Chains A and B, each alone.
Chain A
Amino acid sequence: MLEITNLHASVGDKPILKGLTLSVPAGEVHAIMGPNGAGKSTLSNVLGGKPGYEVTAGSVTFRGEDLLALEPHERAAKGLFLGFQYPVEIPGVSNVQFLRESLNAQRKARGEEPLSGGEFLKLAKDKAGLLKMDMEMLKRQVNVGFSGGEKKRAEMVQMGILDPAFAVLDETDSGLDIDALRIVGAGINAIMRAPDKAVLLITHYQRLLDVVKPDKVSILAGGRIVETGGPELALRLEAEGYDAVMA
């Protein structure tokens, strides 16, 4: 579903990704772990198309198409969802308005009929319930006044509503307490565990992987994938640390 080949990317003049190759087929949850500064967030930003990240070599193919040739909103309409490490506050815009416009923009790009206000609210209520989030919060401004944990939960509600084929989740577990972590993990499973979907899960910790059991685990270090294995690789990292495992 997602094929990354020899990807090189820079921020400003600084090369961050240096020949990253990774393949994530449909039906797979692939966890990416790695030390600070390895390029994990750069990978997710390059996949999302964030301005300021320049791809200098390599390719990314998503569902058979050149992902890098698409604008961020076109990537979303093709089924890519980017879960932000730091979800952005948008004062003056309600979650409901933002998500309804977003979903209908995606549907329009795919040649589907827009959802009516009633249909959308029903869907939003359903997905908010999945993440145990009060509908009242969705009527509030996007992420404004939300705690760190609420922002991450709201990201997952957004993912549920937009129903992507592929999710890149950048440290979705950071800032979550133990209960919220379970809820978010269960949400990821409910929304994304399907034969025709896949997830790239960027994380520092084993805790989330206990809930969202990954099929594969890769270590990203120095801008490239240095090792790929099964779930046991994450357990080894947790026990021994990056230096020992990569030595």
Chain B
Amino acid sequence: MTLATLPTRRDEAWRYADMDGLARLGVAALDQWQAIDVPAGESVTRCLVVGSDAPELHRFRVTLGEGATAAFFVTNAGGDYTRVEVEVRLAKGAHFEFGGVTIGGAGVTREFVTQVVHAEPEATSNQTVRAVHWAGATGNFLGEIKVARHAQKTDAAQDFKGLLLEAGASANAVPQLEIFADDVKCAHGATVGALEEAARFYMMARGLDPATAQRLLVQAFIGDAFVALEDEAERETLLDAALAALEGAKL
């Protein structure tokens, strides 16, 4: 199916999007889905750094067979509008892991949009998103979890934390849970705050300049998103890309 027109802000999934950025992307970009099928018992890990100077949209459609695992880890940075979408369908006993960081200033909008469908029993999913913004930028996490009627013993978790380095930046968390089974665990949490001044002063009192203190605190903050990634080199790549985006941020 080809979409004839661009979505509007009236579409729930595009409510906080940068419509100008989307227009620059063009309607054709909306049709580009990457399909990932993980057969029963197998596992796939994808690490992605989004960070060019053009608008970017990445859409993944993931199907997990019985007992299969998919893990996505994304640093969402760059110079323009960026949006990463993942739709996942989990069969019995499958696991989906998602760790994402949105980071940026200069008025940009960054988004993660996930739809996790627990279609069968005993599947698990865990999503950890951290957003660090300043200078009028916005970080969005729209996370939908759907649990089918017979998908008992589903265990789904979603955790969002936003760190705003100055007034005027924003973070939006939109958890949507649609649960039709009765014996499930679905947890979600969202907090947004500023950098802890006490920690910053403590670090400066030990000799760290303000930029280094901020970098260490941001590194600790976003680290949660990549804890589940075992490959240390990949983890470094994602963290370094995020911290590089922090250069020039408001102190």
Q: Which residues of A does B touch, CB under 8 Å? A: 48-51, 71-73, 75-77, 82, 84, 87-93, 97-99, 101-103, 105-106, 109, 158, 162
Contacts and interface: CB of A to CB of B under 8 A. Distances in A.
A162 B206 contact: yes
B223 A92 contact: yes
A98 B219 CA distance: 12
B45 interface: no
B213 to A, nearest CB: 8
| Most interface-central of B204, B205, B210, B212 (chain A CB within 10 A) | B205
Contacts of A89: 199
Contacts of A82: 205
Interface in B111-137: none
Contact of B206 (A50, A51, A91, A102): A102
A73 B208 contact: yes
A87 B207 contact: no
Given A51-B197, A93-B220, A84 B204 contact: no
B203 A90 contact: yes
B114 to A, nearest CB: 24
Interface residues of B, number: 23
A101 B221 CA distance: 18
A141 B205 CA distance: 18
A103 B199 contact: no
A contacts with B: majority SS: helix
A102 B219 contact: no
Listed residue (A82, A92, A97) with the most chain B CB atoms within 10 angstroms of its CB: A92
B223 A102 contact: no
A90 B208 CA distance: 14
Nearest to B204: A72
Contacts of B204: 49, 71-73, 76
A166 to B, nearest CB: 13
Contacts of A72: 201, 204-205
B217 interface: yes
A73 B210 contact: yes
Contacts of A77: 207
B205 A93 contact: no
Interface in B169-212: 196-199, 201-210, 212
B207 A91 contact: no
Contacts of B212: 101, 105
A75 B204 CA distance: 9
- Choose among A49, A71, A75, A98 the residue with the greatest number of B CB atoms under 10 Å from its CB: A98
Contact of B207 (A88, A93, A97, A105): A105
A77 B207 CA distance: 6
B224 interface: yes
Contacts of B219: 92-93
A163 to B, nearest CB: 11
A51 B201 CA distance: 8
B220 A105 contact: no
A115 B1 CA distance: 61
B205 A76 contact: yes
27 contacts: A48-B201, A50-B201, A71-B204, A72-B201, A72-B204, A73-B213, A76-B206, A77-B207, A82-B205, A84-B202, A87-B202, A88-B196, A88-B199, A88-B202, A90-B216, A93-B216, A93-B217, A93-B220, A98-B206, A102-B203, A102-B206, A102-B208, A105-B208, A105-B209, A109-B207, A162-B206, A162-B207
A72 to B, nearest CB: 4
Given A88-B198, A90-B199, A101-B208, 14 more contacts: A49-B205, A51-B197, A72-B201, A72-B204, A72-B205, A73-B204, A73-B210, A73-B213, A76-B205, A88-B199, A102-B203, A105-B212, A109-B207, A162-B207
A43 to B, nearest CB: 15
Contacts of B224: 92
Nearest to A76: B207
B203 A98 contact: yes
B216 A98 contact: yes
